Amino acid sequence: MFTILLRTVVIYAVLILIMRLMGKRQLGELEITDLVTTLLISEIASLPLTETGIPLHHALLPIATLAGLEVGMSALLLKGHLFKRLLISRPTILMSHGVPDREAMKRARLSCEELLSQLRLQGISDPAVVDFAVMEPNGQISVIQNPSEKDTPPPAGVMRLLISDGRVNRDNLRLAGKDEAWLEGYLKKQGLGAREVFMLLSDGNGTLRLYPMKPTRTPRGKNGKASP
């Protein structure tokens, strides 16, 4: 028991030292190299804690090697643009001037529901007020609100996704106080079918946001009211 305790303390101290040398950046975000290093270090460090038959240096040496590789890779990425392009993804613009980019969302494997969820987490219920939404290399989404829209009153209710990538969400349609007859009539007025709509949102109180599959500069119905 004392041996296990001593080995735990030694590895704990070494890991703290290694993380300190690797820098604060690893604590705030995980790039590909960071993730691989973290997974390997955690796996290697756990082996000698309970397996007393494994010499301690068999874990400390690989951990030190991985830390050295991570520090060296970080320095290489700062100077080598080729390695940076290969190992670090570029920021992806998901929304521009209130309009979602369907192709960019597909490349980022982000659904309409996930995008709206990320906007709500940042206090934005209406996509129309977003100037830019960008998926950063670490996977987080940065949202820049349009300055001219900051004083715009928010929707009266929760914006519900009635159509997502051409598929009608009947549950949200019901929660928004609408039915399929209303939806069919509204889309007919817009000259669209459900399969031609990327996103259709409603707060159930007259505010609609319509984004066709073929992108337009601004969402249709930005200031419009729902048809009765």
pLDDT per residue of the chain (228 residues) written in tens, 0 to 9: 566 567 666 766 676 666 656 554 444 455 666 666 777 778 887 877 767 777 877 778 888 887 787 777 777 767 766 666 665 667 899 999 999 999 999 988 899 999 999 999 988 988 989 999 999 877 789 999 988 766 666 666 788 999 999 999 999 999 988 999 999 999 999 999 999 999 999 988 888 999 999 865 555 554 443 333
Residue 220 lies inside a defined structural domain of this protein: no
pLDDT of residue 18: 65
C-alpha–C-alpha distance, residues 203 and 178, integer Å: 11
| Residue 144 counted as domain residue | yes
Examine residue 120 and state whether it is found in any structural domain, yes or no.
yes
What per-residue confidence (pLDDT) applies to 225?
Answer: 38
Which domain-ending residue is among 48, 63, 87? 87
Q: How far apart are CA 101 and CA 79, in angstroms?
A: 32
List, in sequence order, every beta strand (DSSP E) within the chain: 92-96, 99-100, 130-135, 141-145, 160-164, 167-168, 197-202, 208-212
Q: Within 10 Å of residue 220's Cβ, how many Cβ atoms?
A: 15
On whether both 43 and 105 belong to a single domain, the answer is no
Is 127 domain-assigned? yes
Containing structural domain, residue 131? 92-212
How far apart are the C-alpha atoms of 42 and 40, rounded to whole Å?
5
| Residue 180 placed within a domain | yes
Torsion of CA 118, 122, 126, 132, to 10 degrees: -80
77: three-class secondary structure by DSSP: helix
Do both 23 and 123 map to the same domain?
Answer: no
Identify whether 225 is part of a domain: no
The total number of structural domains that make up the chain? 2
